[in-house]
């Protein structure tokens, strides 16, 4: 069983790659963004609290996302966990390490998807347009204004995790600018 973190800014391809790993390796994707959107859509108290923060592009509190993750770690572990969009702060990273240890699990790799900011803007704007073209609605935070704040949150609060996991010897950089299959092959190379 392999447990990994996919690390990278919004639009880096974390969700896309996680979905392929679930499909092909029977891993379990733990996306705190998806969990928070579900809470928001189903109108729970917590969902109401996070809606504005998420739409703006800021991070929700460590306490909320840690609560969500803690619950999932006690469930089915299948082929291992893919942490997608979590941890996003050093405090979350510390807690994740402790929670995994409690479960007798180890984190194997932290895969950093490396991309350029210009590509991110194009991908996010494209994702919003695709959602609308498919008859749905775009994510409330997939717009230029929120993206700016999400990118700043990434650089200020999340990118320090690159150094943190490098120091732990767990960091693997993957070029996220290639095709979906190219990136997938590079990730497979790390996991093999």
Residue among 120 and 174 whose Cβ is closer to ligand AMP: 120
Q: Which of 14, 37, 40, 123 is catalytic?
A: 14
Q: Are 172 and 112 in contact (CB under 8 A)?
A: yes
Which stretches within the chain are classed as H helix?
Answer: 14-25, 32-41, 45-56, 62-73, 90-102, 117-133, 144-153, 160-167, 180-191
The one segment of 41-49, 81-89, 106-114, 125-133 that binds ligand AMP by CB under 6 A: 81-89
* Residue 40 binding ligand AMP, by CB under 6 A: no
- Closest approach of Cβ 63 to ligand AMP, in Å? 10
Whole-angstrom CA distances from 100 to 4, 21, 114, 186 are: 12, 20, 26, 26
**Residue 88 is among the residues annotated as catalytic for this protein:** yes
Q: Which of 37, 40, 123, 150 is catalytic?
A: 150
Give me the residue whose beta carbon is nearest to ligand AMP. 33
**Residue 14 is among the residues annotated as catalytic for this protein:** yes
The one segment of 57-65, 122-130, 168-176, 179-187 that binds ligand AMP by CB under 6 A: 57-65
Which residues lie below 8 Å from residue 131, measured CB to CB, with a gap of 6+? 137, 138, 139, 142
* Residue 8 binding ligand AMP, by CB under 6 A: no
Beta strands across the sheet bearing 109-114: 28-31, 81-84, 4-7, 109-114, 171-175
What residues are labeled active site?
14, 88, 127, 139, 150
Q: Which residues bind ligand AMP (CB under 6 A)?
A: 10, 32-33, 36, 53-54, 57-60, 65, 85-88, 92, 141, 150
């Amino acid at each position: 069983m392999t447990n990994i973190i996919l690390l990278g800014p919004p639009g880096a391809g974390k969700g896309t790659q996680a979905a392929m790993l679930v499909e092909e390796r029977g891993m379990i994707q733990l996306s705190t963004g998806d969990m928070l959107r579900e809470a928001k859509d189903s109108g729970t108290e917590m969902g109401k609290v996070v809606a504005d923060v998420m739409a703006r592009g800021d991070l929700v509190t460590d306490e909320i996302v840690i609560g969500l993750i803690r619950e999932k770690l006690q469930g089915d572990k299948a082929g291992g966990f893919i942490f997608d969009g979590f941890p996003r702060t050093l405090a979350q990273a510390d807690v994740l390490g402790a929670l995994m240890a409690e479960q007798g699990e180890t984190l194997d790799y932290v895969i950093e998807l490396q991309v350029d900011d210009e590509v991110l803007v194009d991908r996010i704007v494209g994702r919003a347009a695709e959602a609308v073209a498919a008859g749905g609605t775009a994510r409330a935070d997939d717009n230029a204004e929120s993206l700016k704040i999400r990118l700043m949150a990434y650089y200020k609060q999340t990118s320090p995790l690159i150094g943190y996991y490098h120091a732990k010897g767990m960091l693997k950089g993957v070029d996220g600018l290639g095709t979906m299959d190219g990136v997938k092959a590079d990730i497979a190379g790390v996991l093999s």
